[in-house]
Amino acid sequence: MQDLYRHIREYTDISESEFRTLRKNFVQRSLKRRHFLMEEGEVCSHIAFVVKGALRQFYVDEKGAEHNVNLYVDNWWVADRESFIMRSPSIYTIEAWEDCELLLLSRDDALLLRKQNSAFRELLWKLDEEIIIATQQRITYLTCFSTELRFKHFADCYPFFLERFPQHIIASYLGITKDTLSRLRRKSQ
């Protein structure tokens, strides 16, 4: 729980008593590599704080091809936000790429904490801002920039992803082929 406490303190001031109240709502869960946190068709009922590990969120198209849409590592939050908020079946699967240690927070508890805990409310607000900015940047880079600039931005902003995920996952996330990714990585070294 100390990882979560340090993480929250990066975003907001939280008293120890506020954190003690907050942490009671989280449930620890271990997830083995290649096991699923959530599968397509399920309703996302929890958000998870990644204490340790790496996960990917992907969509499988009608031809069976996987499209990685999000990557997550230590000290990140993971969920299918649309399914979580709308209570709708997800089109995504969230898979552990490494063995993971997670802290799960149910939707009901998250809503309650948002009402009752000002530090948690501020954390959510700031995380939402970061997600909006990152999503806007991702859309812009995917639709407006060359593969070289897309890769450079990714490597500059998320170098740890390059160390934790294999090329085929990163290539899918960037919307390029593995061969193109290999060429871009060689060129940047």
Q: Give the model confidence (pLDDT) of 114-153 as tens digits.
A: 999 999 999 999 999 999 999 999 999 999 999 999 999 9
What global pTM score does this model have? 0.93
Q: Residue 29: pLDDT above 90? A: yes
Please report where in the chains the tokens 């303190």 appear, as a residue: 9
Per-residue confidence (pLDDT) for residue 139, from 0 to 100: 94
| Best CA proximity match to 158, nearest among 74, 47, 100, 90 | 74
Domain ranges in the chain are 2-116
Per-residue confidence (pLDDT) for residue 189, from 0 to 100: 78
CATH match for 2-116 among 2.60.120.10, 1.10.167.10, 3.20.20.80, 3.40.50.300? 2.60.120.10
Per-residue confidence (pLDDT) for residue 169, from 0 to 100: 97
Residues 86-95: tens digit of each pLDDT: 999 999 999 9
Amino acid at residue number 63: K
Q: CA 28, CA 101: separation in Å to the nearest integer?
A: 7
Mean per-residue pLDDT for 65-80?
97
Q: Residue 188: pLDDT above 90? A: no
Q: Is 117 helix (H, G, I), strand (E, B) or coil?
A: coil
Q: Residue 1: pLDDT above 90? A: no
Per-residue confidence (pLDDT) for residue 68, from 0 to 100: 97
Per-residue confidence (pLDDT) for residue 33, from 0 to 100: 98
Residues 6+ apart with CB under 8 A from 6: none
Per-residue confidence (pLDDT) for residue 45, from 0 to 100: 96
Residues 6+ apart with CB under 8 A from 24: none
Per-residue confidence (pLDDT) for residue 161, from 0 to 100: 96
* CA 107 to each of CA 104, 138, 142, 169: distance values in angstroms, whole numbers, following the listed order: 10, 27, 31, 29
Residues 167-185: tens digit of each pLDDT: 999 999 999 999 999 999 9
